[in-house]
Amino acid sequence: MLNTLTQQPADALLALIKLHNIDPRADKIDLGVGVYRTGQGDTPVFGAIKAAEARLVAEQDSKAYLGPEGDMGFVEKLMPYIFGADSADLGGRIEGMQTPGGTGSLRLALAMVKRAGYSRVLVGKPSWPNHNQICADLGLDVFEFNHATPDGRTDMEALRGALAAAGEGDAILLHGCCHNPTGIDYSNAEWDEIAGLLGASKVLPIIDLAYQGLGLGMEEDAYGLRRVLAQVPEALVSYSCDKNFGLYRDRVGALYVVVGDPADLTKVISNGHALARANWSQPPDHGAAAVRLVLEDEALTAQWLDELHQMRDRMRQVRARLGAAGKTGGVDLTPVGNQHGLFSIIPFTAEQVQAMRAEHGIYFAASGRINVAGLTMGNIDQFLAAVESVTA
Ligand code: LMR
């Protein structure tokens, strides 16, 4: 019966890694999958993580199972950064568990939503493609509303309309910061409004916080999430350490559930544990244990925050250069200067995306999403010249 299965396309984002790798040109540029790169084009292991890993190797005395919730020290140490030092557990209304990356967390969040009887998820379009893929795999309907206007602002009208038309049985998936793929984030005033709208509605917020610290700062990037949680009785938060600790392939994430009544917490999170058991049983330990060691140590925490700061500054410099380039060929790069995180969308046509690959060896998603961290002061002029030539 296996031969009745139909051929599935390779994941378009992950396929870019291979397409770039096999291109023999020395001056090729990878602006595809979302990994941070230094000014030299590398994605090194954070110094703070290397130090924690060395300690882990020296001191970890067992690799016996921990259980479906994983490393709870890791889960708890992250909470003040996510939810705020003063209200890290919202009065006993939050419980978390470790997951394999942000994707594992989203998978659990959406499966839990499905179990609880929700049937539809509101998703701003465009979104990270895996959001829709996970919903589809779980049999959840997706209702797409427009995330951004063509001139590069958030489309608040569309969001207001989607929420007004939604109600019981609906959840909404929101990007906490560094919107993937557009880089167009809600302002603080817009988050205030969204929090109010969600507080007055029956729609369940699921907040995907995969890039905390890569936008404006660790605190600043949590503003929207904290405002929403201050207004709603229930929510789910999917967290990823892939980017802000540089642990991509180690798959480090967490799921937090927020309930209205602390008495429901054990029951609700037990569903996360049961779903984890049926999916991967228990999350991989190494990366999360390294993060915990960083966060348990003041000096390593300071080092990590400093490394994150440097990443953020470099991406701001690249964005400033792109923004200052302004009108380049047939596209306007000005908005890129004001956007946040790793990604921006440049309105290339499908032919222009192909021409950038074929003629210039510059790889990025078919949507026109570029990973700005793939640009360096050494290759940005080459990129701008290529944009000029294919869009002129
Ligand atoms: C991306 O969007 O490039 C990253 O989040 C990596 C991934 O898993 O897709």
Q: Evaluate whether residue 4 is within a structural domain.
A: no
Asked whether the predicted pLDDT for residue 281 surpasses 80, the reply is yes
User: pLDDT tens digits for 349-388?
Assistant: 999 999 999 999 999 999 999 999 999 999 999 999 999 9
My answer on whether 312 and 288 are in the same domain is no
Contact between 213 and 48 (Cβ < 8 Å): no
Q: Evaluate whether residue 101 is within a structural domain.
A: yes
Hey, which of 33, 133, 134, 208 would you mutate to test ligand 1's pocket, going by the most ligand atoms within 8 Å of its Cβ?
A: 33
Q: Which ligand 1 atom lies nearest to the CA of residue 180?
A: 2
Q: Where are the beta strands (DSSP E) in 216-258?
A: 235-240, 253-258
Nearest to 281 by CA among 62, 63, 66, 61: 66
My answer on whether 268 and 358 are in the same domain is no
Give the side-chain half-sphere CA count within 13 A for 7. 2
CA angle 201, 207, 209 (to 5 degrees): 160
34 lines ligand 1 (CB under 6 A): yes
Rounded Cα distance between 157 and 104, Å, is: 32
Asked whether the predicted pLDDT for residue 21 surpasses 80, the reply is yes
CATH classification at residue 335: 3.90.1150.10
CATH classification at residue 205: 3.40.640.10
My answer on whether 276 and 341 are in the same domain is no
Q: Which domain holds residue 382?
A: 10-34+308-391
Max CA separation in the chain (angstroms):
62
Q: Evaluate whether residue 42 is within a structural domain.
A: no
Question: Which residue, of 240, 264, 298, is where some domain finishes?
Answer: 298
Q: Evaluate whether residue 27 is within a structural domain.
A: yes
Nearest to 338 by CA among 184, 217, 175, 223: 184
Per the structure, the count of domains in the chain is: 2
Q: What is the dihedral of CA 129, 354, 41, 240, to 10 degrees?
A: 0
pLDDT given at position 150: 86
Beta bridge partners of 369: 345
The torsion angles phi and psi of 331, rounded to 5 degrees, stand at: -120, 155
262 CB contacts (<8 Å, ≥6 apart)?
Answer: 91, 92, 93
- Atom 1 in ligand 1: which residue has the minimum CA distance? 34
Average pLDDT in the chain:
97
Q: Evaluate whether residue 1 is within a structural domain.
A: no
33 lines ligand 1 (CB under 6 A): yes
pLDDT given at position 89: 83
User: pLDDT tens digits for 174-233?
Assistant: 999 999 999 999 999 999 999 999 999 999 999 999 999 999 999 999 999 999 999 999
pTM score: 0.96
- Atom 2 in ligand 1: which residue has the minimum CA distance? 34
Contact between 79 and 237 (Cβ < 8 Å): no
Asked whether the predicted pLDDT for residue 100 surpasses 90, the reply is yes
pLDDT given at position 314: 97
373 lines ligand 1 (CB under 6 A): no
My answer on whether 76 and 215 are in the same domain is yes
Question: Which residue has tokens 């049985």?
Answer: 169
Hey, which of 35, 180, 208, 369 would you mutate to test ligand 1's pocket, going by the most ligand atoms within 8 Å of its Cβ?
A: 180
My answer on whether 135 and 186 are in the same domain is yes
Q: Evaluate whether residue 337 is within a structural domain.
A: yes
Asked whether the predicted pLDDT for residue 88 surpasses 80, the reply is no
Which sequence positions are flagged as catalytic? Answer: 128, 208, 243
pLDDT given at position 151: 84
User: pLDDT tens digits for 111-153?
Assistant: 999 999 999 999 999 999 999 999 999 999 999 999 999 888 9
User: pLDDT tens digits for 35-58?
Assistant: 999 999 999 999 999 999 999 999
Burial of 157 (0-12, 13-18, 19+ CB in 10 A): exposed
